Amino acid sequence: MGIEGIDASRSDSTSTSYNDKGGNRISTRSMAKAKLKGTKGSGAEHKSEGGGGGGGGEGWFGLDPVRQHDLVNLIIMPWIALASIFTTITAHDTSCNVLIRILICYMVFDAGYIALDPSCVPSAKLVLFHHFVSILGLSHGIRYPTSNRLVAGYGLIEIHTSFMTFRRLTGIRSQWSEFWFQVVTVLIRLICIPVLVFVGLKDLWDRQLFLRLDGVPPMA
């Protein structure tokens, strides 16, 4: 029996009564029961409100849709990041081609996931547009095999995305983890991505594909 139940039992055994301001007779026993009922009701309301968080209720492991999506990505992205590091360093032709196709499959899978549950990301339309453009860009490595190392190198971005997703999913903000998060942010966002963009634009220019429609993969 809980504390509330003990209090109610005591009230039953020592019940007294008195008149309120309106002259109505009130028993302390009925007051205790009403208080106990109100406490249980407020607890149920609180539980109901808690279960509705995250825009879509709780799902796997008690996670809301956003964190469910983060968990799926955290299972996949680190492997893509490791593969991208390997292909960037070794320039292994087959590995580059495989990684590009894996990235395209991941983008298609993630786009389908988001389309089925738009509440799993803050802005579904923006993310879907990003994935569409990314698939077009990744296809460049398939159409022009000599550029496959460059295109596979874009998988390095998933290093930072993995750190960011882990940080958001777990809520860990220790001094050690935050230091490495900032290091990865600088290396990837401020150094790696600008270099990839510059080399990518140069590749398009050298192939005379810059701002030309025949440089875009056919849609049909």
149-177 pLDDT, tens digit each = 999 999 999 999 999 999 999 999 999 99
Token pair 């209720």 in the structure block, residue: 57
CA atoms of 54 and 66, how far apart (whole Å): 7
Q: What pLDDT is recorded for position 209?
A: 86
Q: What pLDDT is recorded for position 7?
A: 45
Could you list the mean pLDDT of each consecutive 10-residue stretch along the chain, which spans 220 residues?
45 49 54 51 43 51 90 96 95 96 97 96 95 95 94 95 94 93 96 95 89 56
Q: What pLDDT is recorded for position 66?
A: 93
Q: What pLDDT is recorded for position 1?
A: 46
Q: What pLDDT is recorded for position 213?
A: 57
Token pair 């809980």 in the structure block, residue: 2
Mapped to the 3 state alphabet, what secondary structure does the chain carry? CCHHHHHHHHHHHCCCEEECCCCCEEEHHHHHHHHHHHHHHHHHHHHHHHHCHHHCCCCHHHCCHHHHHHHHHHHHHHHHHHHHHHHHHHCCHHHHHHHHHHHHHHHHHHHHHHHHCHHHCCCHHHHHHHHHHHHHHHCHHHHCHHHHHHHHHHHHHHHHHHHHHHHHHHCCCCHHHHHHHHHHHHHHHHHHHHHHHHHHHHHHHHCCCCCCHHHCCCCC
The CA–CA distances, whole Å, from 148 to 101, 145, 191, 192, 216 equal 11, 5, 20, 17, 16
Q: What pLDDT is recorded for position 62?
A: 82
Q: What pLDDT is recorded for position 216?
A: 54
- Amino acid (1-letter code) at residue 154: Y
Q: What pLDDT is recorded for position 200?
A: 94
Q: What pLDDT is recorded for position 63?
A: 87
- Amino acid (1-letter code) at residue 136: L
This prediction has a pTM of 0.68
